[in-house]
Amino acid sequence: MITLLSGGTGTPKLLQGFMQLLPQREIAVVVNTAEDVWLPHGHLSPDVDTVVYTLAELINEETWYGIQGDTFATHEQLLRLGFEEFMNIGDLDRATHIVRGELLRRGLTLEEATRRISRALGVQARVLPMTNGEVRSVIRTDLGEMNLHEFLIKHGSAPEVLEVKLVGEARPCEGCISALEEAEFVVIGPSNPVTSIMPILSLEGVREVLADRRESVVAVSPLVGGKPVSGPADKFLRAVGIEPTPRGIAEFYADVAGHFVIDLRDEQFSVGGVKVHRTGIIMKTREDKRRLAEFIMGIFAGGRR
């Protein structure tokens, strides 16, 4: 079994690589929930949805949220009725939020609700929302405080990011720690280190568990050729004082990941105690994804736990 730490774009692409190499039962994914919100129709857990849809082979790969081929009749009708829904939520995607909201209202934990939704969609991998509690990312900008949806969608990633705060304290989900302890190796995927991975690392005990086994933890750079492959990760990195380069990220992860993978177009560097590996890390095609997953498996071949 292997375990990935994931947000909602970079790591799901890599997950598609591992899905070509391993049966889903051998994969667990601990997913960021710091962007979860209640909406009038239900509960949105954007990264969990993306990971579940990826595993169910339903994900819309143009946007990395929502379901491929979805329709937007409800969204359009809401706008016609004068209801301001700034997220473009598809009809099928909305059904997931309705079900999750109902399950949570009935008292199930997010972990249990995710298990039910995953099973209903035929997913066999273990999808573990990072916590059943509440931890939220709050972004302080020159236009005031906002959540990531507001920053990305309402404001088109334009505001200056002054600070990123994690609000709330929570324990990791029930299955999370064992998934991190028992995996042959752990992959910190190429997700945004600040808004996707930091919330997971902030949970009680997570850093310690990874630090104890850091020789079998690998992180993949979300930056290639000096900039993020997509999205505003560099703005967030600067705001929390991490140098927005592969080296800066390798240093940030050094206490939890003994291996770091960078792209061939970035220069080799050394950070104390971290083995830096180079390969192609841009994942456009099915092949790219499989090759990167194979490369990562190769790092741990022989020394498997």
Pick from 86, 68, 63: which is nearest to 147 by CA?
86
Which is nearer to ligand GDP, 132 or 196 (by Cβ)?
196
Instruction: Report the greatest alpha carbon distance in the chain.
Output: 61
Evaluate whether 182 touches 304 at the Cβ level (below 8 Å). no
Which is nearer to ligand GDP, 123 or 200 (by Cβ)?
200
Instruction: Provide, rounded to whole angstroms, the least separation between the CB of residue 212 and ligand GDP.
Output: 25
Evaluate whether 157 touches 59 at the Cβ level (below 8 Å). no
Instruction: Provide, rounded to whole angstroms, the least separation between the CB of residue 81 and ligand GDP.
Output: 29
Q: Which residues sit at the interface with ligand GDP, rule CB under 6 A?
A: 7-11, 13, 47, 64, 190-192, 195-196, 220-222, 224, 228-231, 233, 281-283
Which is nearer to ligand GDP, 176 or 224 (by Cβ)?
224
Instruction: Provide, rounded to whole angstroms, the least separation between the CB of residue 80 and ligand GDP.
Output: 29
Which is nearer to ligand GDP, 64 or 253 (by Cβ)?
64
Evaluate whether 190 touches 221 at the Cβ level (below 8 Å). yes
Which is nearer to ligand GDP, 7 or 101 (by Cβ)?
7
Instruction: Provide, rounded to whole angstroms, the least separation between the CB of residue 128 and ligand GDP.
Output: 15
Instruction: Provide, rounded to whole angstroms, the least separation between the CB of residue 236 and ligand GDP.
Output: 9
Indicate the Cα dihedral angle 8, 10, 15, 20, nearest 10°: 140
Write the DSSP assignment of 249-294 as a string of letters: HHHHHTTT-SEEEEETTSPP--BTTBEEEEE-----SHHHHHHHHH
Which is nearer to ligand GDP, 65 or 300 (by Cβ)?
65
Instruction: Provide, rounded to whole angstroms, the least separation between the CB of residue 132 and ligand GDP.
Output: 20
Euclidean distance between CA atoms 98 and 51, whole angstroms: 18
Euclidean distance between CA atoms 252 and 237, whole angstroms: 10
Q: Which bin fits 69, alpha (ψ -120 to 50), beta or left (φ > 0)?
A: left
Which is nearer to ligand GDP, 176 or 220 (by Cβ)?
220
Instruction: Provide, rounded to whole angstroms, the least separation between the CB of residue 48 and ligand GDP.
Output: 11
The Cβ-side half-sphere exposure at 275, using a 13 Å CA radius, reads 11
Question: Which tokens belong to 198?
Answer: 């930091």
